[in-house]
Structures are given as structure tokens and as C-alpha cells.
């Protein structure tokens, strides 16, 4: 087995891991929400867990594409195709992150703001004379 065949095999193996992560994640997500049906949080829990599985699987798929493109066929066309694939998958990752957490990936340290209590008067209303 020569170098290119080894790299191609490694790329396919990493692709298989990415697909397996997504498939197993979907099954585990479905099984994990069954106890939550009574509490009404099943849908949100399923979306979050499935989204995390898809994100992890996408990372493996991107890694496999990079390995195969850079090591096996590093011509301009294959690098351009890889760039397009990475852009699409990056957009998907950002979109999934936003769906799961409610924040863009670069806003991770942001604290959620509490909703104002309608029973409490606002500062402007308290300062106004009656």
C-alpha cells in the first residue's frame, strides 16, 4: 500500500467516524428525551443534543476532507472545492451553535440578560412625580 492509498483510507475512516457520530448522536438524543416527555422539555433537549452531535460529526467530516485534499490531490481545483466545503460547513456550524445556545460562537462569555419584571416600576417611572 503506497502513501496515497494510506491517506485515502485514513480520510475514509475519519469520514466514517463523522457519520457514525451523527447517527449515534441522533439515536442517543432520541433515547435521552423519552424521560423528559412528562416535563415538557423533550423537544428542546432533543434539539440541543442532536445539534451537538451534528457539530461534532461535521468537525470529523471537515478533518477528513482536509486530509484527503492536502495530502492526496493538492491542485488548485481541489483546494477551491475544499474551501467551498469548509465555508458551507462553517456556516452550518455557526447556525447550529446559534440554534443551540442562542449566541454566536464569539459571544460565549456573554451572560444572558434577565427579562424585566413587569411588577417592578422602571427607574423612569419611579423618578416621575405623581
Contacts of 81 (CB under 8 A, 6+ apart): 69
pTM over 0.75: no
Q: Is the per-residue pLDDT at 124 higher than 50?
A: no
Cβ(47)–Cβ(99) below 8 Å: yes
Q: What would the pLDDT profile of 27-71 be if each residue is shown by its tens digit?
A: 999 998 888 877 777 888 888 889 889 889 988 998 998 888 877
Q: Is the per-residue pLDDT at 75 higher than 50?
A: yes
Question: Which is higher by pLDDT, 104 or 129?
Answer: 104
Question: Which is higher by pLDDT, 105 or 30?
Answer: 30
pLDDT at 130: 46
Q: Which of 17, 16, 2, 19 is nearest to 71 (CA)?
A: 2
Question: What percentage of the chain exceeds 70 in pLDDT?
Answer: 82
Q: Is the per-residue pLDDT at 25 higher than 90?
A: yes
Domain ranges of the chain: 3-107
Question: What percentage of the chain exceeds 90 in pLDDT?
Answer: 18
Amino acid at each position: 500500500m503506497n502513501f496515497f492509498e494510506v491517506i485515502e483510507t485514513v480520510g475514509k475512516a475519519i469520514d466514517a467516524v463523522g457519520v457514525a457520530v451523527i447517527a449515534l448522536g441522533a439515536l442517543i438524543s432520541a433515547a435521552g428525551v423519552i424521560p423528559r416527555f412528562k416535563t415538557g422539555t423533550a423537544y428542546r433537549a432533543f434539539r440541543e443534543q442532536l445539534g451537538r452531535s451534528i457539530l461534532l460529526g461535521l468537525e470529523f467530516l471537515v478533518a477528513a476532507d482536509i486530509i484527503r485534499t492536502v495530502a492526496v490531490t493538492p491542485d488548485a481545483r481541489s483546494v477551491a472545492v475544499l474551501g467551498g466545503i469548509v465555508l458551507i460547513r462553517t456556516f452550518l456550524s455557526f447556525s447550529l451553535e446559534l440554534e443551540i445556545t442562542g449566541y454566536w460562537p464569539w459571544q460565549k462569555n456573554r451572560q444572558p440578560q434577565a427579562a424585566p419584571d413587569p411588577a417592578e416600576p422602571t427607574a423612569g417611572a419611579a423618578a416621575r412625580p405623581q
